[in-house]
């Protein structure tokens, strides 16, 4: 499985985006078409929250898009100290 990118988030944790996950994101959420937005979300998030449902998942939120009235949310799962992006989509609220 090859990576589209590897990045270090705001808190110094390593995160990767695989080509398979990018394909999932662009197929399921076609309005998201620039991986640079995901990088920006991870490096300069507006807020980082833990998932209510899975303690290994973290949600990164990026600035509010006034055109679509939504935040960009990137969901990252951490296993054995390494993070990988599961999905990304727009949401109305920060959870």
| Residue with token string 């833990």 | 50
The Cα 12–Cα 37 span in angstroms is: 18
Domain count, the chain: 1
What is the per-residue pLDDT across 12-58, written as a single tens digit (0 to 9) for each? 999 999 999 999 999 999 989 999 999 999 999 999 999 888 999 99
User: Domain range spanning residue 41?
Assistant: 3-91
Give counts: helices (H), strands (E), the chain. Answer: 2, 6
Token pair, residue 29, equals 């959420």
Q: What's the pTM?
A: 0.90
Query: In this predicted structure, what is the pLDDT of residue 7?
Result: 95
Q: 3-state DSSP call for residue 83?
A: strand
User: Strand order in 14-18's β-sheet?
Assistant: 3-8, 14-18, 82-91, 70-79, 57-65, 47-50
pLDDT band at 65 (very low <50, low <70, confident <90, very high): confident
pLDDT score recorded for residue 95: 81
pLDDT at 1: 64
């Amino acid at each position: 499985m090859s990576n589209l990118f590897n990045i270090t988030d705001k808190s110094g944790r390593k995160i990767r985006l695989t080509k398979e996950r990018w394909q999932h994101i662009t197929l399921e959420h076609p309005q998201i078409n620039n991986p640079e937005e995901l990088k920006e979300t991870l490096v300069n998030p507006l807020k980082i929250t833990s998932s209510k449902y899975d303690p290994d998942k973290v949600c990164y939120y990026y600035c509010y898009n006034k055109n679509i009235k939504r935040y960009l949310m990137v969901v990252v799962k951490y296993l054995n100290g390494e993070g990988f992006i599961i999905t990304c989509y727009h949401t109305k609220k920060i959870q």
